[in-house]
Structure formats: structure tokens, C-alpha cells
Amino acid sequence: MDEKFIFPQRLKTISFALMAIGLIGTAASFFLYSDEEGVQRWWANMLLNAVFFHGISMAGAFFLAATYVAYNGSITVFKRVPEAVAGFMPYSALLLLLVLIFGHSSLYEWTHADVVESDPLIHAKVGYLNLPFFFGRFAFFVGILLLLSYLMRKNSLAEDQHGGITYYKKNLTVGSLFLLFFAIYISVTSWDWLMSLDPHWYSTMFGWYTFASFWVTGIAVMTLVVVYLKKRGYLEVVREGHLHDLGKLMFAFSVFWTYLVFCQFMLIWYANIPEETGYFRQRYDHYMWLFYTIFIMNFIAPFLVLMSRDAKRKMQILIIAACIIIVGHFIDFYLIVMPGTVGNKGGFGLPEIAPPLFFAGLLIFVVFTNLTKANLIPKNHPFLDESLHHTT
């Protein structure tokens, strides 16, 4: 079961190229669009990407914690993959923190003293929407989750070395704590980072809805990594049954996302209260085709593509479905961020194209570097044998 992953030179070059092109493009767009609207648009894109990729890395850690706590016996063989994705957390958190520190005044209306003075609604929310508390919440929740995810990885590596079920049990505890804090983290940070872009608007569903979006994107990214490794001849012990499980998860949580999105939209549409409908009115009037695109890409496409059993077991189809899901959910976040920052002027050009390239390049580089750091198949895990024999 010894399997060492070596970062293929070609992939490494691709990741560097992506980062370089992305960085140059991002920097160029900063200077090319230097009027006030352009700066806002630039920061909006930075926030969009930082949050989106941060969510992917969180989904990796969540995947690990949830499967530990649920005594999952099928994913153990490829559990280095969620570990590697979770290893992107420190980088994504740092980038997000930088974006929030330097970009907050371009992004969040409520950080402007004059707006707070003249807007009674925002004024009343100052107890929550103020910068020290905002960054305090960031530090507290992201800090705790970083620590817990670091511990999960540490125990997992120690298990490889020393065996026994001590480390497994430790991870059970760490995993449960992770889930507990994650539930509060995802609620609070989705209000902070995304919902407060439209500071008048509120929806109780919002945190769960962004969770669904992050989660299904994370699963799609992990599926792509597993499939890539398999295509390169690694992880031969991952068989159709395991792929089937990943396919089922993508299918199920695409439906789950749709369920939450539909419920949130339908309830607001049905009650027709102006304070609430404004959010969708703006998105529907000015971004109508994206409004329908996310529904097609995140629901209809994965639903039809992944419907049959055979489809979920074929790598080629999983790649297609995962790519649709990742792009679709990126657009989903675009639709959350842009109308809240640049209003009706959300565009598509260099500022939109370059940053995702940089973030994707960095994600690829960090994830695959993490994969080289430990044996690709965990040793001594009490569910390893079960996972190796897993069939569906």
C-alpha cells in the first residue's frame, strides 16, 4: 500500500502558468480600471474569488470531519485528497483576510461613517456591523477551524507512523468539534462576508444556502483530484464503487442546493414584502440570464448527467459534471457578490477572468504539493480494509 505521489512536472508548470497569468492579469486590471467604479469592481472580484476558494478548502475539512463522525467506511482510501484540499485553508484564509483588510471600504457600504449616519437601518445595526467585531469574528471562527483542521491532519499522519486506534479516536473528537464550530462559522461568516454586502437585506436561510454551495463545489473539486490521480496511475485501489459514492454526493447535494435556493426564493416571492424582494428584483432585472444559468448549471445539468448509475461510475462523466458544478457555483457567488457591490454594472472582462486563474493555479499547486507530503493511501486506519473492499 505504499504509494508516493510525485508532483508531475507538467501539472506544476500549468499551475505556475495559471498563477503567473492570473497575477499579471489581476495586476493589469487594477491599473486599467482605475476609476472609482473600476476599483470597486476589482475588489468585488477579489472578494468573490477569495470567498469561493476559501469555501472549497473549508469543504475539504468538513468532508473529513463529517466522514469521521459518521463512521464512513468508503472514503478512507482517498482521504488524503480531502486532507490536501483542507491544507489549502491557511492560504485561502490569508488571502481572504488581506482582501477584507484592504478592500473593505470598497466592498461594504456599512464601513462608511457617512452612510451609517444617514441610513437609520444601517445605523441600528452598528452593534453587529462594525469593523473590530467583524474582524474579531473572522479571527475567532477561522482560527478555530484552522486549528482543528490542522489537528485532524496531524493525527492522520501520526496514525500512519504509529498505528493503533488512539489517533482515530482523537480525530473523532476533533471532527465533532469541527462540525460544531463549522455550523456557527458558516452562519456568521456568510452574513458577514456576503449578506452584509446588501446591508438592508436579510434572509435566515442565507448561511445554509452558502454552505450548500460551498459543499457541493468542494465535493466536485475533490472528485476532480481523485479522478486526476487515477488517470495518472495512482490510487488504483479507488474503484468504481468509490467514484459512484462521489457521484452520488455531487448529485444529492446539487439537489439539496436547489432545494434551499428554491425555498428561499419562493418564500420571498410568495410573501412579496418589498424589503425582501429587492434583493431578487435587482438580480432578476439586471442579471436575468445568469439567474437562469445557475439553475441550469447547478441543478438541471448535474441532475440529468448524474442521474443514472452508470454515469456516476465513469470518470469522464464525473469530470464533466464536476466542471459544470464548479463553474456554476462560481456564477452563483458572482450573483451574490456583484449586485451587492457594483450594482447593475457587473461585467465580464479582464478583472473577472484573471483572478480565478490565479486562485485556481494556487489551489492546484498547494493541493498537489500537500499530496506529495504523505503516503497517498493512509496506513493503519481502522476503516481502511473496509474501504479497500468497498463496492456499491
Partner 1 sequence: MHAESYLRPPLIQGNKTYLQITEDISRSVEAKPSRSWWIATTISAIVMTWGLICIAWTVWFGIGTWGLNRTIGWGWDITNFVWWIGIGHAGTLISAILLLFRQKWRTGVNRAAEAMTIFAVICAALFPVFHMGRVWLAFYNLPYPNTRGPLWPNFNSPLMWDVFAISTYFTVSLMFWYTGLIPDIATIRDRAKTKIAKWSYGLLSFGWVGSAKHWQRHEMLSLVLAGISTPLVLSVHTIVSFDFATSVIPGWHTTIFPPYFVAGAIFSGFAMVLTLMLITRKVLNLEEYITLDHIESMNKIIVLTGSIVGCAYLTELFTAWYSQNPYEQYAFANRALGPYWWSYWGMMTCNVISPQLFWVRKLRRSVWFTFFMSIVINCGMWFERFVIIVTSLHRDYVPSSWAMYSPTWVEISIYVGSIGLFFTAFLIFAKTMPVIAMAEIRHIMKTSGEAQKKAALAEHKHHGHDTHPLPNTN
Considering only residues 33, 208, 214, 358, which one is a binding residue for partner 1 as defined by CB under 8 A? 208
CB 182 within 8 A of CB 27: no
CB 92 within 8 A of CB 218: no
Of 59, 48, 49, 58, nearest in space to 249 by CA: 59
115 touches partner 1 by CB under 8 A: no
Nearer Cβ to partner 1 (62/383): 383
240 touches partner 1 by CB under 8 A: no
**Chain-centroid distance, C-alpha 146:** 15
Of 92, 115, 112, 116, nearest in space to 104 by CA: 112
Interface stretch with partner 1, choices 145-153, 268-276, 322-330, 331-339 (CB under 8 A): 268-276
CB 249 within 8 A of CB 72: no
Interface stretch with partner 1, choices 21-29, 96-104, 137-145, 381-389 (CB under 8 A): 381-389
By CB neighbour count within 10 A (0-12 exposed, 13-18 middle, 19+ buried), where does 107 fall? buried
Name residues whose C-beta falls within 8 Å of residue 76's C-beta, 6 or more positions apart in sequence: 378, 381, 383, 384, 386, 387
Nearer Cβ to partner 1 (76/217): 76
Nearer Cβ to partner 1 (38/241): 241
Nearer Cβ to partner 1 (298/387): 387
128 touches partner 1 by CB under 8 A: yes
317 touches partner 1 by CB under 8 A: no
Helix (H, G, I), strand (E, B) or coil at 76: helix
307 touches partner 1 by CB under 8 A: no
Considering only residues 273, 274, 289, 348, which one is a binding residue for partner 1 as defined by CB under 8 A? 273
CA-CA distance, 11 to 22, in Å (whole number)? 16
| CA angle, 107 then 113 then 114, to 5° | 100
Of residues 18-77, those binding partner 1 (CB under 8 A): 70-71, 73
Cell numbers found for residue 177: 468539534
Interface stretch with partner 1, choices 17-25, 92-100, 164-172, 321-329 (CB under 8 A): 164-172
Nearer Cβ to partner 1 (7/128): 128
**Closest separation in Å from C-beta 186 to partner 1:** 9
Nearer Cβ to partner 1 (120/132): 120
**Closest separation in Å from C-beta 72 to partner 1:** 9
Cell numbers found for residue 212: 450548500
Of 148, 229, 134, nearest in space to 181 by CA: 148
Cell numbers found for residue 208: 445554509
**Closest separation in Å from C-beta 163 to partner 1:** 6
Of residues 245-264, those binding partner 1 (CB under 8 A): 248, 255, 259-260, 263-264
382 touches partner 1 by CB under 8 A: yes
Considering only residues 90, 163, 241, 278, which one is a binding residue for partner 1 as defined by CB under 8 A? 163
Angle of helix 9-32 versus helix 36-69 axis, rounded to 10: 150
Cell numbers found for residue 248: 452520488
164 touches partner 1 by CB under 8 A: yes
| Element spanning 259, H or E | helix 240-271
377 touches partner 1 by CB under 8 A: no
By CB neighbour count within 10 A (0-12 exposed, 13-18 middle, 19+ buried), where does 4 fall? exposed
Residues of this chain that bind partner 1 (CB under 8 A) = 70-71, 73, 121, 124-125, 128, 163-165, 168, 176, 180, 183-184, 187, 191, 202-208, 248, 255, 259-260, 263-264, 266-268, 270-271, 273, 275, 382-383, 385-386, 388-389, 391
